[in-house]
Chains A and B, each alone.
Chain A
Amino acid sequence: MELLKFLIDGLLLGFVYGVAAMGLSLIWGVMNVINLAHGPLISLGGFGVYLLFTGLGINPYLALMITALLGLLFGVAIYWVAIHRVINAPHLSTLLATFSVNMIIIGLGTALFSTTPRNVAYDLGSLTFGSITVPLARLIAALASLVVAAALYLFLYRTTPGKYVRAVANNRSAAELMGIHSNRVLALSFGLGVMLAAIAGGLIATIFPFTILSGSAYELKSFVIGVLGGLGNPLGALAGGLVLGMMEGVIPAYLPVTWVPVIEFLMFVLILLFRPTGLFGGKQ
């Protein structure tokens, strides 16, 4: 019974991890950029919800939607300022460009908010099913993640801009020949990736305390999940998130909890070595 509780806790959290990883995976798939600013952007999502809630008294879930929109705009801005010029340069340039964004956000964030942990004090209580108690905030976070994943799927596969995004991911020059403004699509994709990071951060803020630095742990998890689900396959990332969440729930029942990252990163390295397209198929 204990195990079932851990499993459910892990799974619910896994949905949120999945959203964070979807952002990373989308950016990789479309732009071939590893976004090293992903962690601080997750934290900023948390701060967005926190500030709107404690400062203006807006309901956290409404605040999450506002934060998501701000994230989208912020992501587009980051693309034009920091990435556009180096998008065709070797990997090192885009890695370091996004890392410099990371440094700027962490530097400003530490100076403005300090590193004292914050939390969104909005207690929803918990639900009890038989002998299992689930905090309502976690349940809502998981449901919200599912909605976000479904929305991303509908956007990518049922709308024209989504089709453009997929076309650019598939072959940028061919897409350009077909009359798609690839720069705008890249900017939009980066914006979407940042939006997903911000949503994940906002949801995490309703569950755990956070600081500007705590995002980097989720960034590393996003790498693992992204690889697990197949880099460049945003929907595989959701499945990867569930796998990771489950592992985090179940492994501590058998091994000391400090072994969890060892297994996670070992798995990460092994998958990259033997099946770089991930368990659920990624971009070739």
Chain B
Amino acid sequence: MISWRNPGLWPLLAIIAAVGIYPILANSDASREVIFTMLLSIALASSLNIILGYTGYVSFGHIVFFGLGGYTGLYLLSAWRSPLWLALLAGGLASGLLAFLLGKAILRLRGGYFALVTIGVNEAVRAFIVNFAPFGGPVGISLNFRIYKEYGGAGQALWLVYYLLLGLTLLAVVLSYLVKNSKFGLGLFAIRENEDAAEVMGVVTPNAKTWAYVLSAIIPGIVGVLFYFKNGNIEPGDAFRLNFSIELLVMVMLGGFGTVSGPILGAAGYQRLRGLLLTTPVLKDFQLVVAGVLLLIIILFIPAGAVGWLRQRFPRLRKALP
């Protein structure tokens, strides 16, 4: 089933790796920051796509995994002085565990109800952390600057975070490809098309859905630790921003949901567009308006997203665009 020689996967990985290596070769801090945001979005959008695009469940509050991972990691780093690798591992585990526990319960709900409950979970976790003293309550957690010394100073730590993110992004893409081309993935697609029929055909839907949810939560958890380690501090309002969650949905939709390359293209395109809008003086104030109008046009007229549209239009590209 899984073909490592699929013509689509390798160019995709090569492009991401090439873009990712560029700032390293150029040794440019500015381009590193730009590419960092892009890679972050790709990793998150590709992960979200597993539950959203493959399984057809609209996880609206997906940012909860990013935020929870970040909190777990920063807590370990600051309170226990744990090494970074342990914090990363713990962040991924915490998010995966939350998804697992939530999965069985909330994945029973279909359609709009599921979307609503994920918003509720995100808001509940945020409100809880505001009151949770070990995580710093409303102030959040700030890392002591000395922590970066262990990684060769702040400047060196930024590069370390960047390498790790590049690796994780590639991992997220490979994971998304593997899931899509496995028997498990076929089960997910069956659930997306018709859950009752999938169950009749022998897909154990509650388990499949829960594992899809867990898989889509782990990488956001690890990426959350990286992001907030780089940031130096984490606050509840910032870590569980619903708007960021929705931006991720937009990226997946822009590129084409249910495809491997769609979220990548969507994430890169969205961040590029945002950058352009923010730096163009005429459009700066209307950044959100332009983005909204574009999104609306895409939803109304190209619901399959860029990659989906290309695949429908040029069937020959299907192999090249997984």
Q: Name A residues whose Cβ lies closer than 8 Å to a Cβ of B.
A: 28, 32, 34, 36, 82, 85-86, 89-93, 95-97, 99-104, 106-108, 110-111, 220, 223-224, 227, 231, 256, 258-259, 261-262, 264-266, 268-269, 272-273, 276
Contacts and interface: CB of A to CB of B under 8 A. Distances in A.
B250 A96 contact: yes
B288 A32 contact: no
B124 A99 contact: no
B281 to A, nearest CB: 13
Interface in B287-307: 287-293, 295-296, 299-300, 303
For B106, B292, B303, which residue has the most chain A Cβ atoms within 10 angstroms? Answer: B292
8 contacts: A82-B296, A93-B299, A95-B115, A103-B291, A104-B288, A104-B296, A227-B116, A261-B123
A101 B291 CA distance: 10
B299 A96 contact: yes
Chain B, interface residues (CB within 8 Å), range: 35 or more
Given A91-B111, A91-B115, A104 B289 contact: yes
A265 B127 contact: yes
A91 to B, nearest CB: 5
A89 B253 CA distance: 14
Given A86-B300, A258-B138, A28 B112 contact: yes
A262 B117 contact: no
A47 B119 CA distance: 27
Contact of A111 (B109, B113, B124, B289): B289
Given A82-B296, A93-B299, A258-B131, A34 B116 contact: yes
Given A100-B295, A110-B288, A269-B120, 8 more contacts: A91-B111, A97-B299, A99-B295, A100-B296, A100-B299, A104-B293, A227-B116, A272-B113
Interface of B: 52, 56, 58, 60, 105-106, 108-109, 111-113, 115-117, 119-121, 123-124, 126-128, 130-131, 138, 246, 249-250, 253, 257, 285-293, 295-296, 299-300, 303
B124 A269 contact: yes
Interface of A is mostly: helix
A220 to B, nearest CB: 6
Contact of B58 (A89, A92, A231, A272): A92
A86 B299 contact: yes
A96 B112 CA distance: 12
B289 A34 contact: no
A100 B64 CA distance: 22
A100 B116 contact: no
